[in-house]
């Protein structure tokens, strides 16, 4: 069992390598990782207003900005912003009068996102180095938070959701896409996926995910989109021997891309009647 530091280092090193060599693609979307195709996980951004191809490294598992209810003038925070893909989509919706902030814990990704924003001449987008479970942003700054296939890479998700609650303004909300499992992934697949497709290896049960959101203080929690992910036989063959594959097929494990919505109560409360 790897420690929290080891897990973070695995993810950081993987995404740093992707930022340096985007042509190799990512591991959570339309990509190729170690010779294994993972395009069955991601969603297609082509044709979306604000889409910037250079910022799309194929790392997502959904389209959270599509469901984020961003309004003109909003301050939008993207947690795990990568090369800026969802930030540029959000900027299209919040407009020049709004503000978009990207947070990523990989310096190479932050550098790439800043480079993309500079090329586009966007002055109302900022990218910062930081961890989602130790967010560098001030409290009550975001009208909307989005995130795309990132929370399942964080060992301490409970802390990450609490930090997300802190940075959202009272009455604000989030739209977060992630990979969710129903059932138990065979350990052999989980261990291999930890190195090659962290978005699957870190996935947890839907009920647990919803509990973490509620525990952080959010309300009006709901699922905005649910899409089944079917792992092709050729991908399973990379990780499992014939007996393990039989167990996998019998296990009836379900893997899904889900987009979650939740709101921060309109008024902070720390009294005995509401905390």
Cβ 126 vs Cβ 103: under 8 Å: no
Residue 144 confidence class, pLDDT cut points 50, 70, 90: very high
pLDDT for 35 equals 44
Domain positions in the chain are: 4-181+204-228+256-262
pLDDT for 34 equals 45
* pLDDT tens column, 172-218: 999 999 989 887 776 766 665 444 444 566 788 899 999 999 999 99
pLDDT for 114 equals 96
Least confident piece of the model among 4-8, 39-43, 55-59: 39-43
pLDDT for 216 equals 98
How would you write 2-18 as a 3-class SS string? CCHHHHHHHHHHHHHHH
Tell me the sheet residues that pair with 77: 101, 145
What is the full DSSP assignment across 190-219? HHHHHHH-HHHHT-EEHHHHHHHHHHTT-E
116 pLDDT more than 90: yes
Report d(CA 165, CA 263) in Å as an integer. 9
Residues 6+ apart with CB under 8 A from 140: 166, 167, 168, 169, 170
Report d(CA 211, CA 232) in Å as an integer. 30
Cβ 129 vs Cβ 80: under 8 Å: no
2 pLDDT more than 90: no
* pLDDT tens column, 63-113: 999 999 999 999 999 999 999 999 999 999 999 999 999 999 999 999 999
pLDDT for 22 equals 64
The CATH code of the domain at 4-181+204-228+256-262 is 3.40.50.150
Mode of pairing for the β-strands spanning 204-205 and 142-148: unpaired
């Amino acid at each position: 069992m790897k420690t929290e530091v080891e897990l973070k280092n695995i993810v950081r090193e993987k995404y740093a390598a992707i930022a340096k060599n985007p042509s190799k693609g990512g591991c959570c979307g339309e990509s190729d990782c170690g010779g294994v195709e993972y395009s069955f996980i991601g969603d297609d951004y082509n044709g979306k207003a604000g889409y910037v191809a250079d910022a799309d490294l194929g790392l997502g598992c959904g389209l959270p900005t599509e469901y984020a209810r961003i309004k003109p003038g909003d301050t939008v925070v993207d947690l795990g912003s990568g090369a800026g893909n969802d930030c540029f989509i959000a900027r299209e919706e919040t407009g020049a009068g709004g503000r978009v902030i990207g947070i990523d814990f990989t310096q190479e990704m932050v550098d790439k996102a800043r480079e993309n924003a500079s090329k586009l001449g966007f002055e109302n987008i900022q990218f910062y180095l930081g961890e989602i479970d130790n967010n560098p942003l001030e409290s009550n700054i975001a009208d909307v938070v989005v995130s795309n296939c990132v929370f399942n890479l964080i060992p301490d998700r409970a802390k990450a959701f609490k930090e997300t609650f802190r940075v959202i303004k009272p009455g604000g909300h989030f739209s977060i896409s992630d990979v969710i499992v129903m059932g138990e992934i065979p350990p052999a697949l989980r261990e291999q996926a930890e190195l090659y497709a962290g978005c699957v290896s870190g996935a947890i049960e839907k009920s647990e995910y919803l509990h973490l959101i509620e525990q952080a203080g959010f309300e009006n929690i709901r699922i905005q989109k649910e899409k089944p992910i079917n792992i092709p036989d050729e991908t399973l063959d990379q990780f499992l021997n014939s007996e393990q594959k039989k167990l996998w097929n019998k296990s009836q494990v379900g893997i899904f891309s889900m987009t979650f919505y939740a709101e921060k109560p309109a008024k902070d409360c720390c009294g005995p009647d509401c905390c």
